Amino acid sequence: MNALEYLEKRLEKEQFEKIKAIDNPELHEFLARYIELLNPDRVFVCTDSEEDELYVRWKALYYGEERLLETPGHTVHYDSYYDQARDKANTKLLVPGGKKLPFLNTLDREEGLREIHELMKDVMKGKELFVCFFVLGPKESVFTIPAVQLTDSAYVAHSEFILYRKGYEEFKRLGRQAKFLKFVHSEGELDERKTSRNLDKRRIYIDLEDETVYSVNTQYGGNTIGLKKLAFRLTIRRAVKEGWLSEHMFLMRVNGPNGRKTYFTGAYPSMCGKTSTAMIPWENIVGDDLAFIVPMKGEARGANVEKGVFGIIQGVNPEDDPIIWKVLHSQHEIIFSNVLIKDGKPYWNDMGIPIPDEGENHSGRWWRGKKDEEGNEIPPSHKNARFTVSLEAFPNVDLEALNAPCGVKIGGMIFGGRDKDTWPPVREAFNWKHGVVTMGAALESETTAATLGKEGVRAFNPMAILDFMSVHLGEYIDNYLKFAEKITEEPKIFAVNYFLRDEKGNWLNHKLDKAVWLKWMELRVHGDVEAIETPIGYIPKYDDLKRLFREVLGKGYSREDYEKQFTIRVPKLLAKIERIERIYREQVGEVPGEFYRILGEERQRLRDARARYGDYISPFRFEE
């Protein structure tokens, strides 16, 4: 029998009619193949109706993957104690012959498909399969990419309804023209807490050729929410092939003088200030994580891939994060994951208010001082605990930009990471290519709890995208450099560093100083203020920052603080260039020739400055 005949035989009539309404034989064949392999007891097909979304939310509670909290609309979900972050080791790109790519975890495609299909055979027996349709990017636009998700986790399906735009009607509209991405997930066998049991068989395999992602024996969102970082690998590959950019970037509006609106994208590794930057109360958020950027009529136009936030909750407090705090205490629909629950209320690390001494968290029943099997003390919530909420819940969301079919014009692009001793707090590249090479492609950051492994290690992470790369890094950078040839108005590129310390280990930035750096960048995009030329780009003038600190934060800003922050640390910067060049020559291999030319020019500028001014150069020296 053909695919539709099989689906008619296997599905209940109402669910089959939903599939039959989509005229796409490729979709029918995909569904038939995996329904037969997964072998669920029943299948529910989600349309764009509110009833279908409510059904999924109810099933997340019914199956015990989520539980109600005291505030209406709030639920909590727990992942297994050892399933709390992206599993980099078991996330593999399936490529023919297992071709090796720098920094990427590859596996022979045939071998990987064979293994994952064996793990998934009958994995949904006794369970319900949810078939969900979504789109990446705004609907009916140049950014739109349709996607279909198969999952036996109502929590995963519920999360995607919050995070992504519904796509059933788009599939119907596009019919056979839909060039869609495919995701197959099973949480596998569950334990008594309704968390994945067989973590030794946790696998996340990404088939680049067929644009299909497989995920099994895991529930953590970064491993299972298909349209997020898993789809990201597929869209990066598409973007490089087609000449646009799919980036690990927020998209926000910075409000300039006289009502001016300037849009910025920003790439930061996890826990490096990305979300808090995008959420500054007096600016406007469009997206906090992923952006598509396309050349359009000479401009770089950007759109948020998503419509919600899957954010890290640790450290969110009313003083530093007033917008997020307000949202988390509203009655909007929110899924809290891996936090402490006491009397129906969520608590998390460093939230700025007293936390109960006992309750329930990702380890089960919890009390202060509890230790895990390795003897490590268990904190109230996991350091990678999350909240999932729609952007519409945020009072400062720019809804017009979020839903704009043609996106928004990008005025500036920001790269930032955790760097205790090298980069100044903010600087501007001389031009697009200088920024791409010395700021984006040279990005390093200390590792955090968002991925499994040791924390606090300085890690090479170009464009904050290395964990998600799916093409050769040299090819990716070449696409970035060539992107400027497709536009007549280049976005200005900036680098920021919120984590600079002095020689005693004291912070040189306050958490809210980023708001001042943003205002300065907005002014630079429009040429409203001058800047100081240094060997590594343009930095702010002291008088401009002093004024902005007063206007934006209502506080003073001393010449001493400015000098400490914006000193050009020549030995550290030269050492960084040596590290970056060595990585590219020894580990990356083939990259565009101009990459090394631009890096070499920066090295020479630093050497010349050292010969004239010494190793540590005050910013005031460059104004003499």
Alpha carbon distances (Å) from 53 to 58, 80, 222: 9, 25, 21
How far is residue 391's CA from residue 363's CA, in Å, rounded to a whole number? 30
Tokens of 565: 């922050």
The CA distance from 353 to 319, in Å, is: 11
Rounded-to-integer distance, Cα 253 and Cα 202, Å = 39
Would you state the structure tokens that stand for residue 391, as one six-digit string?
């952007």
- Phi then psi for residue 610, to 5 deg, are -65, -40
CA dist 263 and 260 (Å) reads 10
The closest alpha carbon to 149, from 176, 116, 184, belongs to 184
Rounded Cα–Cα distance for residues 384 and 374 (Å)? 19
DSSP-derived pairing of the beta strands 334-337 and 74-77: parallel
Instruction: Compute the Cα dihedral for 105, 109, 111, 112 and give only its sign.
Output: positive
Please count the CA atoms within 13 angstroms of the CA of 622 that sit on its side-chain side.
Answer: 25
Residue 272 known to be catalytic: yes
Give SS3 for 609.
helix
Q: What is the DSSP string of 278-336?
A: HT-TTSEEEESS-EEEEEETTEEEEEES-SEEEEE-TT--TTT-HHHHHHHTSSS-EEE
Question: In 3-state terms, what secondary structure has residue 166?
Answer: strand
Q: Which of 46, 132, 272, 406 is catalytic?
A: 272
**Selection from 193, 192, 184, 181 nearest residue 216 by Cα:** 184
Residues known to be catalytic = 272
